[in-house]
Every structure is written in structure tokens, then in C-alpha cells.
Chain A
């Protein structure tokens, strides 16, 4: 048996299947695929000012200083549902047993075509200055991981991460609240994963930042030509830049080398989410982002 035999033997299949495929999507009989066509409007945010700082390390470093992030373990695995399903609305002439899914032996891994992911190349990172809140008017509240999950309605911890990276935050955040009204005015959540033994000041790792109020700082400079990618039904802007690291040659100012910074920006369940990674490969980064979105750790990357 060869491929052509198999292709030819398809000619003997039930005529009802052929009829079903013949009318599916034909003019005037467009199939409704739910969810995939619904795209939430992207919040691109204000014209981004600012400059560029050392990717995530710096942003997390300063954020930690300002917000007083603590160390510890983070909750992993969001328990969120898997990828968006697209119920297919069949014409009434469906063959029998048509809607019963083929029962696989074990749950199948999610597949993501990395060739369909567009990485926007950029010169550097964008960051913004964190706002100042007068302590006379605002107070800080420490939310633990449970409170954070309740506030966001989900976890943003990646269900998958490279094995050498460990969490360095506890999954909580310090929110800023208006003393009088109780209104939350600052809700940025930072989840950082790093290889602390990495032999350089710029460690290998990534940070997930999530906010329902809109992120003030990180990381991709959006333009009209910025392209988005579809990750399990969520529109994601991926970015990449190369940053230099020292020591720098005292005469030529040439850096000791360059490292990759990958970025992703998307909306998930009403929160704006940014992920920034130092020294991860493109595939590792895409898989981390896909695992945040899907809540699944069994994701196979394929190339078309």
C-alpha cells in the first residue's frame, strides 16, 4: 500500500460524508465556527513613551523594589479549560454517529504550529515609569496567591516552563487601593521564573505580568505594521530583540555578546498580560505563552 492507494481508496467512502463536505462552507451555507472568529479588541494602550531598559530583569528588579515582591513558591497549573473548541453546526443531514468524537486512548497533546507564529523584530524594549500614589490617599494591600486568583478569575502561572527555571515569587501581589473609595488603582502581578545558577548577571528566565487595569510599562512597541498571531484562539503580539551584555571593550565599546529577549503581549479573561524572557529559545518562549493561555502543559510544537 502506498499513499496513492490510500488516496484512491477514499473514493469508496460513504457518499453521505462526501455530501456533507460538499455543502460545508459552500456559498450561502457558511458554517458557523463559534469563538474562533470572535476577537476581543486589542488594547494597544497609549502611545508608548519611554525608553528602554534592560528587559525584564530591570523591569522586574525595579518593580520588586517598588512593590516589595517577596520570594517563595508560586502556584503552578491554572486549571483553566483547554483550547477554544469550535462547535461545528452541521446541516440536518448529518450521518449517524457523526458527532461522537473519536475516542483516543489518552488525552491528546495540544498542537501549535510555530510557523504560524509571527515574531515582530524590534530595536529594543519599551518601558514606562510606574505611577506614584500618595500614601496619604492610597494604601497598599498584600494579596496572597489565592486572593490574586480570585481577583483575576484565573491563574497566569504557566502550566509549562523549561525545567531549569524555578519560580522566585509567591504568586501574590501588592495592590494599591484608594483609602476612601476602596478602588483598586494598581494591580500588576509579577510571576518570575529564573535559573539562579545561570553564570551571568543577566539570568535565563522569564516574567509574566498581568493587570486588569492595563499595564503601564512593558514591553512591545506597537505600530500599524505590528502583526499578531493566533494562539489557541487568543490574539498575541510576539516580539523579539537582541540586547548586548558586558563587559564592554574600553576602546571599541563592543559588547561581550548579545542575548535574545522574547516578548508577548495579549489579553486573557479581561486582563492585559505581558511575558518577557531573557535567553530562552523561540520555541521555549512560544510554548510558555501557549501554556499560560491554554492552562495545559502537554503542548507539541509542530512546523508546517
Chain B
């Protein structure tokens, strides 16, 4: 079923919206949650949580891209679950991604808090200026938590190119955040 029809079901308060959304995007959402959380059980709960939140949000929300909208909810739900878990039990993938993200922080010695929405806005501007290919590589790695090899296979490019692009983008993002005043 296409996105428009599934969204229509949400608007009509037809519970088939949940099963159709799950049918179409469930596997991808489960994978994303599992990458971040490391546990299948937690990932399944996050998927259920995602679908429930979508049911409560649509309407009034009318997502332009249902897949991206659900993935956004799923990612937020996964991070909330991580916070509840505390600092322990981070998945290997998340530890690796976190370490890579540390390289983008202008002053890693500082432990101050940056405003999350300001940071998101700033990253939005940074991403908007990138060529599409680079932006996709960045998002597949740091948004969808894909491995280097998965990004490479998905986009049909060499692993070496993926690594090189990410290396360069991390350096550039660090410089960009510095210029935007994120020196915390």
C-alpha cells in the first residue's frame, strides 16, 4: 500500500493503518532500533511504541514521507529507552558511532550541554550545503546506524570511498559547529 493510502487510514482512525505501516516499514524500523539498542526485545518494544505514537500523532500530523516520519519517531523512542537504561548496556554499534561523533565536537574536553534543537538546526544547515551523495552517506551512517559495509553495498560504492567521505565530513562538521559557536 502506498504512503498516501496508509496516511488516509490513520486519518480515518482505521486500525489497519497500524498493520499496513508495520507491514511496509516494520522491518526497517526494527533494524534501526536494534542497531541503536543492541537487543531484539528492546527493538520490538520500540517498534510497538513507534506505531502507537504515530497513531496518536496522525492526525493532526500529515507526514510528507511516512517512512521518514516513522523512522524519526523510532529513533527518538530508541534514544529515550537508552536514557532510561542509563550509561550501561550500550550496543557495540552505538559505542562505535558515538566514538566517531566525538570527532566532530569542537572541544571534546568540555562537558557542557548544547541546546539540542539549536544543534539540530545547525546540522540541518550543514547538511543542506552538502552534495546529495555525501549527505546520504552521512545519514546512512549516523542517522540509520548502517555499518560501512552496508553503506557501501547500498550505494554501490567502495568501502574505501565511504570511509574517506565520512572522515572528511566529520572534519568539516567539526569546523562548521565551531563556526556556529558550539564550543561547549
Contact = CB atoms under 8 A, between A and B. Distances in A.
Interface string A102-135: 1110001001110010000000000000000000
B167 A111 contact: yes
B17 interface: no
Interface stretch (B4-12, B46-54, B66-74): B66-74
B143 A4 contact: no
B130 A7 contact: no
Nearest to A86: B133
Given A1-B113, A87-B133, 20 more contacts: A3-B101, A3-B103, A5-B113, A6-B101, A6-B105, A7-B142, A11-B72, A12-B117, A14-B124, A20-B135, A20-B136, A20-B139, A24-B154, A25-B154, A97-B129, A98-B132, A100-B131, A101-B130, A101-B131, A230-B158
Interface residues of A, number: 53
B84 interface: no
B69 A9 contact: no
A95 B128 contact: yes
Interface in B128-151: 128-133, 135-136, 139-140, 142-144
A236 to B, nearest CB: 12
A53 interface: no
A3 B100 contact: yes
Contacts, number: 185
A15 B64 contact: yes
Q: Which 9 A-B pairs have the closest CB atoms?
A: A12-B120, A88-B133, A3-B101, A19-B65, A21-B139, A116-B160, A3-B102, A3-B98, A19-B68
Interface of B: 28, 63-65, 67-69, 71-72, 75-76, 79, 94, 97-105, 108, 110-114, 116-117, 119-121, 123-124, 126-133, 135-136, 139-140, 142-144, 154-161, 163-164, 167-168, 172, 182, 184
B156 A33 contact: yes
Contacts of B164: 111-113, 302
A249 interface: no
A12 to B, nearest CB: 3
A43 interface: no
A17 B135 contact: yes
A88 B134 CA distance: 9
A88 B136 contact: yes
A16 B158 contact: no
B102 A15 contact: no
Contacts of A73: none
Nearest to A36: B157
A1 B127 CA distance: 20
30 contacts: A1-B110, A2-B98, A3-B105, A5-B116, A6-B102, A6-B104, A6-B105, A7-B101, A8-B79, A11-B76, A11-B79, A12-B120, A12-B121, A15-B63, A15-B64, A15-B65, A15-B69, A15-B72, A18-B68, A18-B143, A21-B143, A22-B65, A24-B154, A25-B154, A86-B157, A99-B131, A111-B164, A113-B160, A113-B164, A116-B159
A223 interface: no
Nearest to A97: B128
Nearest to B103: A3
Contacts of B99: 3
Contacts of B126: 102
A2 B158 contact: no
Contact of B120 (A10, A21, A86, A98): A10
Nearest to A105: B175
Nearest to A88: B133
A16 B124 CA distance: 10
A176 to B, nearest CB: 40
Given A8-B79, A98-B135, A302 B167 contact: yes
Contacts of B102: 2-3, 6
A252 interface: no
Nearest to B99: A3
A30 interface: yes
Nearest to B139: A21
A99 B123 CA distance: 16
B166 to A, nearest CB: 10
Contact of A101 (B65, B121, B129): B129
Contacts of A15: 63-65, 68-69, 72
Contacts of A98: 128, 131-132, 135
A222 B72 CA distance: 51
A13 interface: yes
B136 A8 contact: no
